[in-house]
Amino acid sequence: MPFSTPTPGGSPERWVLIVRKPLDTVTAAVSTVRRAFLYAALAALAITLLLGIPLSATLVRRLRRLHHAALQLAADGPPVALPADRRRDEVGDLARAFDVMQRRLQQQEEARRAFVSTASHELRTPLASLDGMLELLHEDLGDADPDLSDARSLLERARTQSRRLARLAADLLDLSRLDAQVHLRSEPVELGELSRAVLAEFELGTEERGIISTLDDSAGRVWACGDPGGIARIVRILLDNAVRVSPQGGEITVELRNGGQASVTVRDEGPGVASEEREVIFERFQRGRAAAGSAGFGLGLAIGRELAERMGGELVLERTELAGATFTLRLPVATAQEEEPLAVV
Ligand SMILES: Nc1ncnc2c1ncn2[C@@H]1O[C@H](COP(=O)(O)OP(=O)(O)OP(=O)(O)O)[C@@H](O)[C@H]1O
Ligand SMILES: [Mg+2]
């Protein structure tokens, strides 16, 4: 570093300051730091291995247990003992989700078994009585002088049983289609037109018993969004029940309403539904007290509710002060209301 100092003579004296340091000290510092880094890295690696190996071994063991349980579940079905894992981490969450899935599968399996056993029992009863009647008919007609009036009555009873079987088969087919998630149409349906068509199907039966059925369409045209066949099926189920429980000369009202949702209400003057039966009657093969003595399988409302829910709506039993029962089907309102009503399937 050059510098100068003043002198009494005038011209300053010039100097140069030189500082010298040997490079050996820098190299030593670098190698110290490098060694320190190496030791630190080795220590970190050792700690990681010490902690990591047992941790990952535990994780692998827990995952492997779940893996075995999943394979066993696939091979033997839902009643498989799952490894209990209560730890609050991701693997624990996975084990708990697995447990929920297994319980749900088990419930579905039990429901399926109960359904198959009830359905086969319901099929066996009319089949056995049909077989008995045909046997008797066969014996009657084998006589030298057959009793034709007895044969005719047997034949009529056999036909009733075969119609009962056909109806059960149709209901079971509907349920299996719903279980298989068969696609339902989603289109604008005019509920007035549809209700009129379904009411007409019941005319003969209602006239015979002096039942008055009326359609209240004072709300104007009510457009719902759904499957025309499915909606008609639900209204048919409700009317079939209403006609069955109605007393001689009773009144059945079908009421259409517009609002947040499009609705069809079917009201009758029958015995109504007991409060403890309000929800049970919507389950498969469940019949209430009102059905005592009448033919049926307890499938109508179960099919109706499932269909309604699959169309984004609901089928409920209303709470009213009125005597009799009031069932309402609510469906999403159709947006394309300018379209022409569709034919009822
Ligand atoms: N309008 C009603 N009034 C009183 N009880 C009713 C009415 N509709 C249904 N229920 C009760 O709900 C039960 C279940 O009805 P659902 O339509 O599911 O079966 P079901 O009519 O007995 O037989 P299915 O419809 O299969 O021939 C009936 O057995 C009956 O007890
Ligand atoms: Mg019914």
Per residue in 17-28, pLDDT (tens digit) is 998 888 888 888
| Cα(321) to centroid(ligand 2), Å | 23
User: Quick check: is 217 in a domain?
Assistant: yes
Which burial class, exposed, middle or buried, applies to 262 when counting CB atoms under 10 A from its CB (0-12, 13-18, 19+)?
buried
| Cα(120) to centroid(ligand 1), Å | 20
Q: Domain containing 278: what range?
A: 187-332
User: Quick check: is 214 in a domain?
Assistant: yes
Q: What lines the ligand 1 site, CB under 6 Å? A: 171, 237, 241-242, 245, 268, 270-273, 281, 287-288, 290-291, 296-302, 325
CATH of the domain at 247: 3.30.565.10
Q: Which ligand has an atom closest to residue 286 CA? A: 1
Q: In this structure, are 225 and 171 located in the same domain?
A: no
Q: Which of 179, 207, 222 is the last residue of a domain?
A: 179
Per-residue tokens: 144? 């030298």
Q: In this structure, are 145 and 118 located in the same domain?
A: yes
Whether residue 311 is predicted with pLDDT greater than 60 in this model: the reply is: yes
| Local confidence band at 275 (pLDDT 50, 70, 90 cut-offs) | very high
Q: In this structure, are 252 and 308 located in the same domain?
A: yes
Q: Which of 126, 149, 179 is the last residue of a domain?
A: 179
Question: What digits encode the pLDDT tens for the residues 164-223?
Answer: 899 999 999 999 899 888 899 999 999 999 999 999 999 999 999 999 999 999 999 999
Whether residue 342 is predicted with pLDDT greater than 80 in this model: the reply is: no
CATH of the domain at 136: 1.10.287.130
Question: What digits encode the pLDDT tens for the residues 163-180?
Answer: 989 999 999 999 989 988
Whether residue 332 is predicted with pLDDT greater than 90 in this model: the reply is: yes
Per-residue tokens: 249? 């000369």
Residues 6+ apart with CB under 8 A from 345: 228, 229, 232
Q: In this structure, are 266 and 136 located in the same domain?
A: no
Whole-number Cα distances in Å, 164 to 4, 133, 281: 126, 15, 20
Number of domains in the chain: 2
CB of 285 within 8 A of CB of 298? yes
| Cα(119) to centroid(ligand 2), Å | 16
Which residues have CB atoms below 5 A from the ion given as ligand 2?
241, 300
